[in-house]
Chains A and B, each alone.
Chain A
Amino acid sequence: MVIKVFKNFFKKVFSNMFQKKEHIKLGFYGPPNAGKTSLANRICKDFAGEEIGTVSKIPHETRNVQFKEKVEISYKGKQMTFKMIDTPGIATKIDYEDFLKFKVKKKEAKTRAKEATQGVVESIKWLDDMDMVVIVLDATENPYNQVNITIIGNLVARNIPVLIVANKIDLRKADIKKIEAAFPEYDVVGISAKYGKNLEEFYESIFKLTKKI
């Protein structure tokens, strides 16, 4: 652990001294169905002209890490290039029977469950490679979920800057204050990825976060 911290520290110091980052690796993490792909799609569509992945009401729609290289985000005259990394939702349990409720056939549900478990493992592996991370949470759900705390704990241990996004603020049940109360040490931005609500504040926070890399 101590060796890892020193390694990361020296890696950061020397990479800052001798080379300018060509693009910042921006990861989207969170539990399933929080809207990670919806947000990544919105950014990619606005600044790169095409989406990163498909969105669905069925949990674990994203089962592989998806990338979009060289996405140049412009905000208030500033420009920065990012490599967008959309990750599968992290969960502690996956039951194929849960997919049957969405009228998915049994065989397909079993395949989906298997791919989803592999997706979680892949998401965890990618934690080491991020420059900064956006944690996307569903603002209508209870934020005191161990998965959220575990992801943030891992990012803190790796000195990776974190921004928390409270998504789905267009829904009546959304409660940003609850998320702010759960994570008082972090910036929380309330957005609606589906309707593009409050993205200005999101971009401002992203640019602010790049200074912590």
Chain B
Amino acid sequence: MSKKKKLGKIKGFSIQFLPYSEIKDLDSNERIKKILGLILGQNILILQGKLRAEEETRLIGDTMAMIGHINNFKGIELAVISGNGYGGFFSKMKQGLANALSGGDLGAITIIGPATVVKEIKRNPKKIELMLNR
């Protein structure tokens, strides 16, 4: 008879949803600051839409600058899931236009969590798995 696997105790964490409307009018500095503020509060953040490419690198850069300066902060786990996939030229143009009108790719979802809580975000085109630290 096989032994029953014991489930480890998962430390407390919360999931926070951030609608795009809350960061829409913020500049890049303020967006990153807001996101990192929520992450430092041990929240797993689900952001509607996605950051611009240069904002993502800025987020990584600022995260690196904080490691070693903030107690028990080891970085972040980050994943963007986009429903748009790779389309042809016209579908991309249509999407680009829709994004320009709405102010961001609202078909996407960005998941960001502190590395102390989220061990890994495994993803492939069809599914996403959040592996948590116990």
Contacts from A to B (Cβ < 8 Å): 1, 90-95, 113-114, 117-118, 120-121, 124, 127, 142, 144, 146-147, 149-151, 153-154, 156-157, 181, 184-185
Is B125 touching A94 in the complex (CB atoms < 8 A)?
A: no
CB pair B53–A154 under 8 Å, yes or no, is yes
Top 6 A-B pairs, shortest CB-CB distance: A93-B75, A153-B53, A93-B115, A117-B64, A150-B56, A95-B74
Residues B60 and A120 in contact, CB atoms below 8 Å apart: yes
* Smallest beta-carbon distance A102→chain B, Å: 17
Cβ-closest chain A residue relative to B66 = A117
Q: How many residues of B are in contact with the other chain, CB < 8 A?
A: 26
Q: Is B11 in contact with chain A by the CB < 8 A criterion?
A: no
Which residue on chain B has the smallest CB distance to residue A125?
Answer: B61
Interface of A is mostly: helix
| Contact in complex: A153, B56 (CB < 8 Å) | yes
Contact in complex: A157, B125 (CB < 8 Å): no
Q: Residues of B contacting A91 with CB < 8 Å?
A: 75
Partner among A95, A120, A181 whose Cβ is within 8 Å of the Cβ of B64: A120
> What are the interface flags for B53-82 relative to A under an 8 Å C-beta threshold, 1 for contact and 0 otherwise?
110110011011101100000111111100
Which residue of A113, A121, A127, A153 contacts B68 across the interface (Cβ within 8 Å)? A113
User: Which one, B52, B76, B122, contacts A93 given CB within 8 A?
Assistant: B76
**B123 CB–A CB distance under 8 Å:** yes
Q: Are B122 and A142 closer than 8 Å at their CB atoms?
A: yes
Distance between Cα atoms of A95 and B63 in the complex (Å): 12
In the bound complex, CA of A153 to CA of B55 (Å):
11
Residue from the set A113, A144, A181 with the largest chain B CB neighbour count within 10 Å: A144
